[in-house]
Amino acid sequence: MKTLILTTLVAAGLCAGQTNDDDGCRLTTVRGDYGFSISGSRPSSPGGPLEQILGVAMTHFDGAGGLTQIDNIHGSISGFAAPDRPGTGTYTLNNDCTGTMTLSNQGAPTLTLRIVVVDHGREIRTVVVSPAAVMVTSDGRRL
Protein backbone atom coordinates (compact mmCIF):
# COMPACT_ATOMS: atom_id res chain seq x y z
CA MET A 1 0.00 0.00 0.00
CA LYS A 2 2.86 2.38 0.84
CA THR A 3 4.37 1.68 -2.60
CA LEU A 4 1.05 2.55 -4.32
CA ILE A 5 0.72 5.81 -2.37
CA LEU A 6 4.37 6.75 -3.06
CA THR A 7 3.98 5.95 -6.78
CA THR A 8 0.81 8.06 -6.96
CA LEU A 9 2.49 11.00 -5.23
CA VAL A 10 5.54 10.84 -7.51
CA ALA A 11 3.34 10.66 -10.62
CA ALA A 12 1.27 13.61 -9.40
CA GLY A 13 4.42 15.60 -8.76
CA LEU A 14 5.77 14.90 -12.22
CA CYS A 15 2.50 15.97 -13.84
CA ALA A 16 2.37 19.16 -11.77
CA GLY A 17 5.90 20.02 -12.91
CA GLN A 18 5.01 19.94 -16.62
CA THR A 19 4.45 23.23 -18.42
CA ASN A 20 2.54 24.21 -21.54
CA ASP A 21 5.93 24.60 -23.25
CA ASP A 22 5.94 20.81 -23.74
CA ASP A 23 2.47 20.85 -25.27
CA GLY A 24 3.47 22.40 -28.61
CA CYS A 25 1.16 24.77 -30.46
CA ARG A 26 -2.57 24.80 -31.11
CA LEU A 27 -4.94 27.35 -32.64
CA THR A 28 -5.33 29.13 -29.30
CA THR A 29 -1.55 29.71 -29.15
CA VAL A 30 -2.17 32.46 -31.71
CA ARG A 31 -4.89 34.65 -30.29
CA GLY A 32 -5.33 38.41 -30.17
CA ASP A 33 -3.78 41.31 -32.05
CA TYR A 34 -0.40 41.14 -33.80
CA GLY A 35 1.46 43.99 -35.48
CA PHE A 36 3.36 42.96 -38.64
CA SER A 37 6.09 44.62 -40.70
CA ILE A 38 5.94 43.50 -44.35
CA SER A 39 8.61 43.58 -47.06
CA GLY A 40 9.23 41.92 -50.39
CA SER A 41 8.53 42.20 -54.09
CA ARG A 42 5.71 41.61 -56.54
CA PRO A 43 5.02 42.30 -60.22
CA SER A 44 4.32 46.01 -60.74
CA SER A 45 1.72 45.04 -63.37
CA PRO A 46 0.81 41.84 -65.25
CA GLY A 47 4.05 40.84 -66.94
CA GLY A 48 5.77 43.99 -65.62
CA PRO A 49 9.00 44.31 -63.66
CA LEU A 50 9.17 43.42 -60.00
CA GLU A 51 8.74 46.26 -57.55
CA GLN A 52 9.69 46.47 -53.91
CA ILE A 53 6.81 46.67 -51.48
CA LEU A 54 6.78 47.72 -47.86
CA GLY A 55 3.95 47.78 -45.41
CA VAL A 56 2.51 47.22 -42.00
CA ALA A 57 -0.51 45.25 -40.85
CA MET A 58 -2.60 44.78 -37.73
CA THR A 59 -3.98 41.24 -37.66
CA HIS A 60 -6.48 39.83 -35.18
CA PHE A 61 -6.38 36.04 -34.69
CA ASP A 62 -9.52 34.66 -33.04
CA GLY A 63 -7.90 31.54 -31.52
CA ALA A 64 -10.22 29.29 -33.58
CA GLY A 65 -8.67 29.52 -37.08
CA GLY A 66 -10.10 32.85 -38.30
CA LEU A 67 -8.44 36.22 -38.76
CA THR A 68 -9.17 39.80 -39.76
CA GLN A 69 -6.57 42.32 -40.86
CA ILE A 70 -6.02 45.95 -41.77
CA ASP A 71 -2.88 46.58 -43.81
CA ASN A 72 -1.07 49.47 -45.48
CA ILE A 73 1.08 48.44 -48.47
CA HIS A 74 3.16 50.66 -50.80
CA GLY A 75 4.95 49.80 -54.07
CA SER A 76 8.16 51.41 -55.33
CA ILE A 77 7.58 51.41 -59.13
CA SER A 78 3.84 51.57 -59.73
CA GLY A 79 3.18 54.05 -56.96
CA PHE A 80 0.72 51.51 -55.61
CA ALA A 81 -0.60 52.53 -52.22
CA ALA A 82 -3.28 50.66 -50.31
CA PRO A 83 -3.92 52.42 -47.01
CA ASP A 84 -6.19 50.81 -44.42
CA ARG A 85 -7.09 47.85 -46.65
CA PRO A 86 -9.31 45.37 -44.75
CA GLY A 87 -8.89 41.63 -45.19
CA THR A 88 -10.09 38.32 -43.81
CA GLY A 89 -8.68 34.84 -43.74
CA THR A 90 -7.98 31.61 -41.95
CA TYR A 91 -5.03 29.93 -40.29
CA THR A 92 -4.01 26.43 -39.27
CA LEU A 93 -1.36 25.53 -36.74
CA ASN A 94 0.44 22.23 -36.27
CA ASN A 95 1.70 20.90 -32.95
CA ASP A 96 5.28 21.77 -34.05
CA CYS A 97 4.26 25.48 -34.37
CA THR A 98 4.31 25.53 -38.19
CA GLY A 99 1.19 26.22 -40.16
CA THR A 100 -0.55 28.03 -43.00
CA MET A 101 -2.51 31.21 -43.40
CA THR A 102 -4.75 32.51 -46.18
CA LEU A 103 -5.53 36.19 -46.60
CA SER A 104 -8.05 37.83 -48.93
CA ASN A 105 -8.27 41.56 -49.58
CA GLN A 106 -10.81 43.09 -51.94
CA GLY A 107 -9.30 43.61 -55.40
CA ALA A 108 -6.21 41.47 -54.68
CA PRO A 109 -5.44 37.79 -55.20
CA THR A 110 -5.84 35.52 -52.19
CA LEU A 111 -2.46 34.95 -50.57
CA THR A 112 -1.34 31.64 -49.10
CA LEU A 113 1.40 31.91 -46.51
CA ARG A 114 3.49 29.49 -44.49
CA ILE A 115 3.82 30.53 -40.86
CA VAL A 116 6.05 29.70 -37.93
CA VAL A 117 5.00 30.65 -34.41
CA VAL A 118 7.85 31.42 -32.02
CA ASP A 119 8.41 32.67 -28.47
CA HIS A 120 5.38 30.83 -27.04
CA GLY A 121 2.97 32.50 -29.46
CA ARG A 122 4.30 36.04 -29.00
CA GLU A 123 5.73 36.21 -32.54
CA ILE A 124 4.78 34.93 -35.99
CA ARG A 125 7.05 34.72 -39.05
CA THR A 126 5.44 34.43 -42.50
CA VAL A 127 6.35 33.93 -46.14
CA VAL A 128 3.97 34.09 -49.11
CA VAL A 129 3.97 30.82 -51.10
CA SER A 130 1.13 31.60 -53.51
CA PRO A 131 0.83 33.37 -55.87
CA ALA A 132 4.44 32.46 -56.62
CA ALA A 133 5.28 35.84 -58.23
CA VAL A 134 4.75 37.57 -54.88
CA MET A 135 7.87 37.22 -52.73
CA VAL A 136 6.94 38.70 -49.37
CA THR A 137 7.88 38.00 -45.78
CA SER A 138 6.59 39.49 -42.56
CA ASP A 139 7.31 39.38 -38.87
CA GLY A 140 4.54 39.91 -36.37
CA ARG A 141 4.52 40.49 -32.63
CA ARG A 142 1.57 40.11 -30.27
CA LEU A 143 0.48 43.37 -28.68
pLDDT band at 44 (very low <50, low <70, confident <90, very high): confident
Q: Under CATH, which number does the domain 21-142 receive?
A: 2.40.128.120
This prediction has a pTM of: 0.81
pLDDT for 84-127, tens place per residue?
A: 999 999 999 999 999 999 999 988 899 999 999 999 999 999 99
Nearest to 121 by CA among 27, 19, 17, 38: 27
Statement: residue 2 has pLDDT above 90: no
